[in-house]
Structure 1
Amino acid sequence: MNVPTLETARLILNAHTAEDVLRNFAIWSNPQVVKHISGTPSTLQQCWWRVLRYAGHWSLNNYGYWAVREKASGEYIGDVGFQDNLRAIGPVFDVYPEAGWVFDPRFHGLGYATEAMTAVLGWSESVMKSRLTACLIAPQNQASLKLSKKLGYRVIGEAPVQDVPTLILLRG
């Protein structure tokens, strides 16, 4: 499946390209970005694999992650979308596409995550088979919890992810 382009007032969401790897690395190697995700900055190789995984999700699942680009500058500033990581958490989570978002810290607090995810969720409601989506958020990640609530996610439980207690949220 081709990655659909989504456009908002300030953003363009489209397919990742090989040229995005260095910006992806700049984002995912930032300790502030990974603080509540894995705690470990990504290597360049891991970012290349991530971009390949993004493309693979679209190819195999007909959904995936978009590159988020600021309309005014054209700069790649983050990733939003859905994935299926085969996490084996259980039926309250595993059967739903897993939503996620990450942005370069220079663009935090501008409402871009809300804007991008609102577009992505609108797309998912009109295109995807299930209207239900899930996400995982570290309890300490107050910014993502605030965003998830704004987007309509609600906490339904907790599960260990990489041996760390993590909240399970559901929307739909």
Structure 2
Amino acid sequence: MTQPILETARLILRPFRVDDFDAVAAYWGDPAVARWTRGGQPISRSQAWLRLIEHPGHWALMHYGFWAVEEKSSGTMIGEVGFIDLKRDYDPAVNDVPEIGWVLSPQAQGKGYATEAAKACLPWGREHLGPIRVIAAVNADNRASIRVAEKCGFRECLRREYERGVAVFLDRVL
């Protein structure tokens, strides 16, 4: 499947490109972003490279994945959003369920971009994945991401210890 391009009023959701690497390495290497993801540790440039190139592979194998999020007004790549299956062993209640996620660079946070981008993904997901259950896994202390999920119609279904903290799992049917 060719990865589609989605647009909102302020954002373009598009396939990742090699020239996105510096932006990806910057936000995944930032402690403010890592605080909520990947066990709380910033990742190295080489790990960020693997993160970048996993996206086209996920689309090729699963026919869904993450989009690069580009701010229309500046043309700046500011983060990523989409659906993914990382084969994580969360809990039997939520394993093997596609996961929606979003990560934005610190300078793009607090502007409503995560909600705008996630809401753009939902109709695409329903059309291409069907009316299936999707989860969002969020660190329990990350109130901003929990609010994004709730604004997108997700409701808490589970809490459990995961990667050095408590994870909140929210779900909805697309």
- TM-score class normalised by the smaller sequence: over 0.9
Matching residue of 2:123: 122
Matching residue of 2:83: 82
1:6-59 deviation per Cα after TM superposition (whole angstroms, max 9, x unaligned): 011111000001111111011111111111212111111011100111111101
Matching residue of 1:143: 144
Matches within 5 A, 1:1-172: 1-37=1-37, 38-172=39-173
Root mean square deviation of aligned Cα: 1.2
> Secondary structure in 2 aligned to 1:152?
coil
Runs of 4+ off more than 4 Å = none
TM-score (norm 1): 0.95
TM-score (norm 2): 0.94
For the 8 Å contact 1:96–1:130, the answer to whether it is kept is no
What residue ranges of structure 1 are gaps of 5+ in the alignment? Answer: none
The CA distance in 2 between the partners of 1:163 and 1:29, in whole Å, is: 18
> Secondary structure in 1 aligned to 2:52?
helix
The percent identity for this pair of structures is 38
1:74-127 deviation per Cα after TM superposition (whole angstroms, max 9, x unaligned): 110000011111112244212321111010111111111111111011110111
1:113-160 deviation per Cα after TM superposition (whole angstroms, max 9, x unaligned): 111111011110111134321011111001001111111111111233
> Secondary structure in 1 aligned to 2:161?
strand
> Secondary structure in 1 aligned to 2:40?
coil
The CA distance in 2 between the partners of 1:14 and 1:85, in whole Å, is: 20
